[in-house]
């Protein structure tokens, strides 16, 4: 049974809004564990982010990492992660205009993978598919993670939802969240 007094914060939003960055900063400020969805969603593979772990395995490893006290969990696990997200005391939803998100993602991918995502690189196709997928977020008819799907899911949550702009400095975002705890 989770510790009712400890904050349990779920930080979500589109890829590139800063959920992982804010999650890590909040966890540090609150001295609680930070769990990022991508560390559990994807199975180890030669080409990163190409093999999904089984959902029961994801839930098991995330639950173990969250523990029983306070925590900050970042990423997007709406739907499949609901059994664990239900323990959150606050949901932070980060937004950012599409062009800014895609620019951040492109820069991050270049920094992490360099020539692997360049033409002829072993991750070129995966990178191109990821960027196309990420660009679909603002399309209400997109079949993947989308703003429409996020807002529909957020409206059903029992925990309070705080919507913030991922364009704001991380220190300001941390201060705003901590002030509301």
User: What are the per-10-residue average pLDDT scores of the chain (181 residues)?
Assistant: 76 98 98 94 85 92 95 95 96 98 97 96 95 94 91 97 99 97 93
Q: CB neighbours (10 Å) of residue 127?
A: 20
Q: Residue ranges per domain, the chain?
A: 8-101+145-174
22 half-sphere exposure, CB direction, 13 A CA radius: 33
**Residue 134 and residue 16 in contact, taking contact as beta carbons nearer than 8 Å:** yes
**What span, in angstroms and rounded, lies between the C-alpha atoms of 159 and 152?**
14
Q: How far is CA 73 from CA 11, 91, 111, in A?
A: 6, 10, 24
Q: What integer pLDDT is reported at residue 1 of this predicted model?
A: 47
Record the tokens describing residue 70, joined without a space. Answer: 């306070």
Q: What integer pLDDT is reported at residue 154 of this predicted model?
A: 98
Global confidence as pTM:
0.93
**Residue 138 and residue 95 in contact, taking contact as beta carbons nearer than 8 Å:** no
Nearby residues of 147 by Cβ (< 8 Å), 6 or more positions away: 14, 95, 137, 138, 140
Residues in the chain: 181
**What span, in angstroms and rounded, lies between the C-alpha atoms of 98 and 105?**
10
Q: What integer pLDDT is reported at residue 144 of this predicted model?
A: 85
Q: What integer pLDDT is reported at residue 143 of this predicted model?
A: 86
According to CATH, the superfamily of the domain at 8-101+145-174 is P-loop containing nucleotide triphosphate hydrolases (3.40.50.300)
Q: What integer pLDDT is reported at residue 3 of this predicted model?
A: 55
Q: What integer pLDDT is reported at residue 2 of this predicted model?
A: 53
């Amino acid at each position: 049974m989770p510790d009712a007094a400890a904050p349990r914060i779920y930080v979500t939003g589109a890829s590139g809004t800063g959920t992982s960055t804010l999650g890590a900063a909040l966890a540090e400020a609150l001295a609680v564990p930070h769990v990022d969805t991508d560390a559990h969603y994807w199975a180890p593979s030669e080409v990163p982010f190409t093999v999904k772990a089984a959902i029961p395995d994801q839930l098991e490893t995330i639950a173990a990492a969250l523990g029983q006290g306070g925590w900050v969990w970042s990423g997007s696990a709406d739907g499949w992660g609901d059994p664990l997200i239900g323990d959150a005391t606050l949901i932070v939803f980060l937004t950012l205009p599409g062009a800014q998100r895609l620019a951040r993602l492109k820069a991050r991918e270049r920094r992490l993978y360099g020539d692997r995502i360049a033409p002829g690189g072993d991750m070129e196709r995966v990178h191109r598919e990821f960027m196309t997928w990420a660009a679909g977020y603002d399309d209400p008819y997109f079949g993947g993670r989308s703003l429409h799907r996020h807002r529909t899911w957020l409206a059903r949550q029992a925990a309070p939802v705080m919507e913030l702009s991922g364009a704001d400095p991380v220190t300001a975002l941390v201060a705003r969240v901590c002030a509301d705890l």
